[in-house]
Chain A
């Protein structure tokens, strides 16, 4: 159920712009601040931009950023954790110590600080790449720690010891017998991190550190809600924000189910 709805939501956001007749940036002053109508399903904002189009385009943007960041963060964490578990000794201690440092700072603060250290007026594409990179760099530590723990657990398993007994070289044991075992953990982590990173992008855009104004993003849709008059007089500006919820809820349910299954199978 959650799986189907997540697939539908993501498909809708990825393909949605194809069906949407409005340009998310085009301003129609005639129809500014209009409540939902037959044409503008979610109404328009103060500049006369169609909110449904901004929701769809913005969602595609936020979700792609989140997905890419998840992929990159997991890859970094996988490499660091795998290396720490495989090499062991001093390398292990150093990698895990650095991971500990990254875990000790609230990551949103770190992310905001790091993003702010870059110029604010980047083109949307460059900003997207920068955000993906930063999210991954700030968040590699937790998956790295989990992967390392799992590698250490797996290398004490019977079949690994058996392989070792047969004289299989160490790297081969690692590649053939230990790495495949981390797949389940990585999938569960991916589902857990994906919504969180989408949210990180949304939050950065909300704080004005995202892709920058005319560009649609979910964070840019939430930003105007800080102005109270919008909530009291233009109630429909809250609609896009509420429509974001199903995505987060569906990923949460899915991640929980996967985690449960993963815990049972171990």
Chain B
């Protein structure tokens, strides 16, 4: 178990190194745009770069970055001149405020509908959800925007990004949940239990749902990843001032400390979510061995 946690930590460090390397080999930096300004002397730009340590080779800068991270300092935004943590933290909160409720709500709705549909052996919902799952967020959000405009609903509220996120998460979870519950329903031990006259409620709570839980628990991480990925587009589309727009802005102005911090943070969140999901699975199902050969 400790090995598994260490592997997760190594993974985060590796992600940060890959991201750092990627931005270092990329041509241009934050000052590329300022080079075009006729008011600035080339030498003063070089002085700025030297002051920020941007003229050093990337391993040196990476070592410095790691060292400052260990002190809790994740760098300074070049565009805003304030520490990255102070810039990113409020945005993370704004994103999380819609992301987590939408994620949890999407899960609840999806699992309930899936159980209900599987129980009624309803085959109509699955194709519908597949279609919804494949409908790109950009299209779904534009349609939502259009509906909002047509019905004159104020657009600056959180309902638009939240709805977009729920519509992105729920179908994904539904498809997996429906499959898992349907399979559990026709499993032999469930059939035997049913034939021995175990009451329907007990059958569901004690037999079917626990049997369907495993694939769903391993879906926690990927579904969060999907939600975070969708939120980038959905926030950009609906103008919600969360992490997504900040990330895009930082990416376009080459404010790499911010980009780096966001990528590493998201990587860390997902790594730990996956770790948590694995540990839950491990606790629930003694058949599963951690860290055997990675083939889940």
Residues of chain A touching chain B, judged by Cβ–Cβ distance below 8 Å, are: 96-97, 100-101, 104-110, 112-114, 116-120, 145, 148-149, 152, 195, 199, 202-203, 206-208, 219, 222, 225-226, 228, 231-232, 235, 238, 241-242, 244-245, 248-249, 251-253, 256
Selected contact of B22 from candidates A100, A117, A244, CB within 8 Å? A117
* Known A-B contacts A206-B138, A206-B233; A113 and B27 likewise in contact (beta carbons under 8 Å): no
When A and B form their complex, what is the total count of cross-chain residue pairs whose Cβ atoms lie within 8 Å? 132
**B20 CB, nearest partner CB in chain A, Å:** 11
A-B pairs, 3 with minimum CB distance? A117-B26, A252-B134, A116-B251
B233–A108 touching, CB < 8 Å: yes
Residues of chain B touching chain A, judged by Cβ–Cβ distance below 8 Å, are: 7, 11, 14-15, 18-19, 22-23, 25-28, 127, 130-131, 133-136, 138-139, 142-143, 145-146, 149-150, 155, 225, 228-229, 232-233, 236-237, 239, 247-248, 251-252, 254, 259, 262-263, 266-267, 270-271, 274, 294-295
Question: In whole angstroms, how far apart are the Cα atoms of A148 and B295 in the complex?
Answer: 9
A106–B266 touching, CB < 8 Å: yes
16 more A-B residue pairs beyond the given contacts A113-B23, A207-B233, A256-B127, with a C-beta to C-beta distance below 8 A? A100-B294, A104-B271, A105-B267, A108-B233, A109-B247, A109-B262, A112-B232, A116-B251, A119-B27, A120-B252, A148-B295, A199-B138, A207-B236, A225-B142, A241-B138, A256-B130
The binding surface of chain B is classed by DSSP as helix
B229–A252 touching, CB < 8 Å: no
Could you say which residues of chain A place their CB within 8 Å of the CB of B274? 104
Could you say which residues of chain A place their CB within 8 Å of the CB of B134? 195, 248-249, 251-252
* Known A-B contacts A106-B270, A113-B22, A253-B131; A241 and B27 likewise in contact (beta carbons under 8 Å): no
Question: In whole angstroms, how far apart are the Cα atoms of A116 and B30 in the complex?
Answer: 12
* Nearest neighbor of A251 in chain B, beta-carbon distance: B134
Question: In whole angstroms, how far apart are the Cα atoms of A231 and B141 in the complex?
Answer: 12
The binding surface of chain A is classed by DSSP as helix
* Nearest neighbor of A99 in chain B, beta-carbon distance: B294
Selected contact of A101 from candidates B14, B248, B294, CB within 8 Å? B14
A104–B15 touching, CB < 8 Å: yes
B11–A100 touching, CB < 8 Å: yes
Q: Can you report 25 A-B residue pairs in the complex whose CB atoms are below 8 A from each other?
A: A101-B14, A105-B263, A105-B266, A105-B267, A106-B229, A109-B232, A109-B247, A113-B263, A117-B23, A117-B25, A118-B27, A145-B294, A202-B138, A207-B236, A222-B138, A222-B142, A228-B145, A228-B149, A232-B149, A232-B150, A241-B138, A241-B142, A252-B130, A252-B133, A256-B130
* Known A-B contacts A101-B11, A226-B237, A238-B146; A109 and B135 likewise in contact (beta carbons under 8 Å): no
B266–A149 touching, CB < 8 Å: no
Could you say which residues of chain B place their CB within 8 Å of the CB of A199? 136, 138
A113–B139 touching, CB < 8 Å: no
B252–A106 touching, CB < 8 Å: no
A109–B145 touching, CB < 8 Å: no
B237–A231 touching, CB < 8 Å: no
B19–A113 touching, CB < 8 Å: yes
**A220 CB, nearest partner CB in chain B, Å:** 12
* Nearest neighbor of A256 in chain B, beta-carbon distance: B130
B138–A203 touching, CB < 8 Å: yes
